[in-house]
Amino acid sequence: MSNKIYSIITGTGSYIPTKQVPNSDFLTHTFYESTGEPINRPSEEIISKFRIITGIDERRYVEDHQVNSDIAFLAAEKAISDSGIDKEVLDYIIVAHNFGDVKHGETHVDIVPALAARVKYKLGINNPFTVAYDLPFGCPGWLQALIQANYYIKSGDAKHILVIGSETLSRISDPYDRDSMIYSDGAGAVVLSAVESETPVGILTHATRTDTLEHVFLLKMDKSYNPADKANIYLKMNGRKLYEYALKTVPASIKLAIDKSGLNINDIEKILIHQANEKMDDAIIKRLYELYGYKVTPELAMPMTISWLGNNSVATLPILYDRILNNQVDKHHLKPGDHFVFASVGAGMHVNALVYKIPEK
């Protein structure tokens, strides 16, 4: 059997902001309905219900002096160091994000130059053939960038690619919208490298879908729920419809990716899923196992960090993977030879899933 080229993750890194924001920080907030009317319930009740649904106790925000490209760089630096490669041999730097560098106290998107170019500059890379570009794809952006990087490697166009997911959602969330409590900041990165192997390893299969006709505006930018704030627009979502959409499409997409690999759900050690809502993710995993005929979901199938990190969009998956590899997620471990799945859903609406086998040492 002749060797084939596969894409494996050779380095990981993440940056978790230092500013801890517990749910209690929102007790003094005045929340509004989408109609512009104040919510006539005690803040304690609003926050308690929020905690039950989302599983979020606290989240992390960047410091006032930081912007998105700063934390993307910090995660990238760690991933390159972990991989052991010379940064000058990188063929591509792909940064998944959605809002660019938003400064403290502003909501203006800044994406010129591209965040990937800014990260390349901060890394001090001289090689002009290290191509740096951004990928805006909603919350599934980092995973889609990983899928794209795999194509570069499989085609023979690249040997080493830096893939970053970084976001500062705290800068574009409406303080008068209770959904703002979901959002957080963070950055994660991996180095994806080419390897020759007789047997399949690394990225095995993937599945991606985009549903726009009925679902394109489930997440969008719109005015504040507070009628007095007329100057800015913020991230808005239709939570109920998004939940229904995710439950319908994400399990099916994960199953499609697994089936394409020739594996069964029993061969999958972990499901690493984008974390926007604990209740929703639990329902997704339950539905996935039901598609395979199981009524009970394995207790340790899905690692979760949402309780203390919140939803940091494109950064969720690379942060989660980095922490698992470094034994920083309680009771969850991955070892050489294990198969696992990355999966995400978000603005677009987009859904993607990827099956990965950790190389044997």
Sheet holding 268-273, edge to edge: 202-210, 350-357, 339-346, 268-273
pLDDT in tens, 288-308: 999 999 988 887 899 999 999
The mean per-residue pLDDT over the stretch 116-133 comes to: 98
The mean per-residue pLDDT over the stretch 330-336 comes to: 93
Using alpha carbons only, what angle is made at residue 342 by residues 145 and 62, rounded to the nearest 5 degrees?
65
Other CB atoms closer than 10 Å to residue 221's CB: what's the count? 16
Residue 356 has pLDDT above 70, yes or no: yes
Predicted local distance difference test score (pLDDT) of residue 337: 95
How large is the angle between the packed helices 278-291 and 239-261, nearest 10 degrees? 40
Q: What is the CA radius of gyration of the chain?
A: 20
Whether the CB-CB separation of 320 and 190 falls below 8 Å is answered with no
* DSSP-based three-state secondary structure for 24: helix
Q: Residue 179: which H helix or E strand, with range?
A: none
> What are the CA-CA distances from residue 14 to residues 1, 75, 180, 297, 338 (Å)?
38, 4, 23, 29, 22
Sheet strands (E) in 123-214: 131-135, 160-168, 185-197, 202-210
pLDDT in tens, 9-36: 999 999 999 999 999 999 999 999 999 9
* DSSP-based three-state secondary structure for 136: coil
Distance CA 33, CA 93 (A): 41
> What are the CA-CA distances from residue 115 to residues 15, 68, 95, 188 (Å)?
16, 8, 7, 14
pLDDT in tens, 184-223: 999 999 999 999 999 999 999 999 999 999 999 999 999 9
Predicted local distance difference test score (pLDDT) of residue 298: 85
Residue 211: partners with Cβ closer than 8 Å, 6 or more residues away: 245, 249, 348, 349, 351
Residue 61 has pLDDT above 60, yes or no: yes
Residue 152: partners with Cβ closer than 8 Å, 6 or more residues away: 91, 92, 158, 161
Residue 1: partners with Cβ closer than 8 Å, 6 or more residues away: 198
Domain segments of the chain: what residues?
Answer: 4-197, 202-357
pTM, two decimals, is 0.95
Closest CA to 359 of 131, 199, 248: 199
Other CB atoms closer than 10 Å to residue 129's CB: what's the count? 9
Predicted local distance difference test score (pLDDT) of residue 268: 96
Distance CA 312, CA 322 (A): 15
Share of the chain above pLDDT 70, in %: 99
Whether the CB-CB separation of 58 and 21 falls below 8 Å is answered with yes
The mean per-residue pLDDT over the stretch 122-127 comes to: 98
Residue 44 has pLDDT above 80, yes or no: yes
Two domains, one topology: 4-197 and 202-357: yes
Q: What pLDDT band is residue 1 in, cutting at 50, 70 and 90?
A: low
Phi-psi label, residue 24: left if phi above 0, alpha if psi -120 to 50, beta otherwise:
alpha
Predicted local distance difference test score (pLDDT) of residue 295: 85
Predicted local distance difference test score (pLDDT) of residue 297: 85
Looking at the domain that runs over 4-197, which CATH code has it been given? 3.40.47.10
CATH number (3.40.50.1370, 3.30.930.10, 3.40.47.10, 3.40.50.1100) of 202-357 reads 3.40.47.10
- CA 269 from chain centre, in angstroms, equals 20
Mean pLDDT of the chain: 95
The mean per-residue pLDDT over the stretch 57-74 comes to: 97
Residue 276 has pLDDT above 90, yes or no: no
